[in-house]
Structure 1
Amino acid sequence: MYVVERVARGHRYLYLVESVREGKTVRQRTIKALGRKDVLAASGELDRLAASIARHAERSVILSDIDAGRIAARRIGGPLLFGRLWQRLGVDAVLEEVLEGRQFGFAVERAVFVATLHRLFVSGSDRACLDWMESYAIDGSEDLALHHFYRAMAWLGEEIEEKAEGGLAPRCVKDVIEEKLFDRRRDLFTDLSLVFMDTTSLSFYGAGGDTLGRRGHSKDHRPELAQLILAVVIDAQGRPICTEMVPGNTADVKVLMPIVTRLRTRFGITRSCVVADRGMISADTIAALEELGMEYILGARERTSSVIREVVLNDTAPMVPLVLERQAGDTQLWVK
């Protein structure tokens, strides 16, 4: 059985019919005239009839409550996947450990998780995060309000040292969390014999950022905005170790050494090889790395001089010794 629509005297009527076979032909047999379509729709009789029939069906459901706003579809995949990773890395446990003794009056760990998830998916402000959160089913986030996100982010940036050396941002709660996460996965065979570092610029709107916010070379092509330089350090397995921030007008070449020095202090590094791109190479940087006894792999610009063409590019060996003459003295490198 099914419903058909027929036009008569300028009006549309609905009929409940069924198909019946008579000999070799199939025809429609009217079971019930339901009435004028517009009248049935206006009175709600059609919806009530459909809902009544759906109650007795095994594979049909009426979703009218969605249009009325009483039912909302919420996504669960992202929170489940990254929630499991969050727990495996021990981020939730470390946050609760650092929060011990603090009375915030709301679930700070949940606010940090939601903010992290938001930045992984779409990024944006804390206000945008609050709206985005409504489309996702995230355990423990039901009571979070906008000011909770503001307070959680302020706590992560809460300074625990007045001033840092080398132009780096002062140590804050975020640094303590990074160190505790590293300690959780550290064992007898864990080392930082090879670390990779790169930088990017992050521009921002509005007030604030008086310490780090400066105008400089913008990698996201927004030179009119204040920015900071974010340096990310990862280990040989691609796992993040830490991040550091410096004022936005700091050249890449001046970033490497302060971070190397702080890495040795924060994580007890005795031997390590630093890998960085060509923007961080300079005679002073190389001399400082040599003085610290640090191994390094630094990218070098491919020059058009005969030294590079004939000595380096034409040699098939994995590494080629090269001495570059500089005003401060010769620098001996292994290049490829």
Structure 2
Amino acid sequence: MYVVERVARGHRYLYLVESVREGKTVRQRTIKALGRKDALAASGELDRLAASIARHAERSIILSDIDAGRIVARRIGGPLLFGRLWQRLGIDAVLEEVLEGRQFGFAVERAVFVATLHRLFVSGSDRACLDWMESYAIDGSEDLALHHFYRAMAWLGEEIEEKAEGALAPRCVKDVIEEKLFDRRRDLFTDLSLVFMDTTSLSFYGAGGDTLGRRGHSKD
């Protein structure tokens, strides 16, 4: 069944009809004359009729619930794909290992995952990450707040007492995580054929120092 519009005596009328087969032909059979289109629209009867029918249609129910805010549509592709990769690489396990004994009171591993996922899709701040996260269904991210991202990023940058020989900067938690991930994937036949280097240009100024800060050394 469906509604058709017909013109008669200069006015537009709506009819509820159905298609019926008679022999080898199909014709329309009028079930109900609904009335003049302009009168139905002006009285609101047309909208009420459409809403009444829509209440019994599953697709319309879902769409109306989305419009009313009762159902929220979120993307799932990225979190599913990169979530599986995150687990296969063992990043979640390494983070939990390094976090052992720390009492943060929130899911640090989830905060790091969401922040990483955000940087894979769009570059932005932790505050932008919080807004971006609302469009995605990410397991374990429901209770994350902005200050959780700040604390998680601060933890990654925490300096540790151990210092690598010849290092120009103190080692931090991030370095430990990267080394553990490398060890996790390394075997007797590992060939280090590809190395990613951070070539970000940095410059500084000040009163000098014992290494790069000494007079005569490039500061860029």
| TM-score when normalising by structure 2 | 0.74
How far apart are the structure 2 equivalents of 1:100 and 1:56? 53
Bigger mean CA deviation after superposition, 65-74 or 194-203 = 194-203
How far apart are the structure 2 equivalents of 1:17 and 1:209? 89
Residues 158 and 208 of structure 1: is their aligned pair in 2 closer, same or farther, counting only changes over 3 Å?
farther
Question: How many positions carry a matched residue from both structures?
Answer: 218
Cα RMSD over matched residues?
5.5
Task: Give deviations 1:287-320, integer Å, cap 9, x for gaps.
Answer: xxxxxxxxxxxxxxxxxxxxxxxxxxxxxxxxxx
Residues 146 and 207 of structure 1: is their aligned pair in 2 closer, same or farther, counting only changes over 3 Å?
farther
Q: For the Cα contact (< 8 Å) 2:20–2:29, is it kept in 1? A: yes
Task: Give deviations 1:173-220, integer Å, cap 9, x for gaps.
Answer: 1011111111212233335477564623489999999999999999xx
Residues 108 and 19 of structure 1: is their aligned pair in 2 closer, same or farther, counting only changes over 3 Å?
same
Residues 39 and 160 of structure 1: is their aligned pair in 2 closer, same or farther, counting only changes over 3 Å?
farther
Residues 50 and 191 of structure 1: is their aligned pair in 2 closer, same or farther, counting only changes over 3 Å?
same
Q: Which residue of 1 aligns with 2:54?
A: 54
How far is 1:84 from its partner? 0.6
How far is 1:26 from its partner? 6.7
Q: For the Cα contact (< 8 Å) 1:15–1:32, is it kept in 2? A: yes
Which protein is richer in helix relative to its size? 2
| TM-score when normalising by structure 1 | 0.51
Residues 148 and 41 of structure 1: is their aligned pair in 2 closer, same or farther, counting only changes over 3 Å?
farther
Q: Which residue of 1 aligns with 2:33?
A: 33
Residues 62 and 43 of structure 1: is their aligned pair in 2 closer, same or farther, counting only changes over 3 Å?
farther
Which protein is richer in strand relative to its size? 1
How far is 1:86 from its partner? 0.4
Q: Which residue of 1 aligns with 2:173?
A: 173
Structure 1 gaps of 5+ residues are: 219-336
Task: Give deviations 1:1-29, integer Å, cap 9, x for gaps.
Answer: 21123567887553212346789987644
Residues 16 and 214 of structure 1: is their aligned pair in 2 closer, same or farther, counting only changes over 3 Å?
farther
What secondary structure sits across from 1:62 in the alignment? helix
What secondary structure sits across from 2:162 in the alignment? coil
Bigger mean CA deviation after superposition, 70-79 or 200-209 = 200-209
Residues 216 and 172 of structure 1: is their aligned pair in 2 closer, same or farther, counting only changes over 3 Å?
farther
How far apart are the structure 1 equivalents of 2:208 and 2:29? 76
Residues 103 and 203 of structure 1: is their aligned pair in 2 closer, same or farther, counting only changes over 3 Å?
farther
Residues 143 and 176 of structure 1: is their aligned pair in 2 closer, same or farther, counting only changes over 3 Å?
same
Residues 14 and 160 of structure 1: is their aligned pair in 2 closer, same or farther, counting only changes over 3 Å?
same
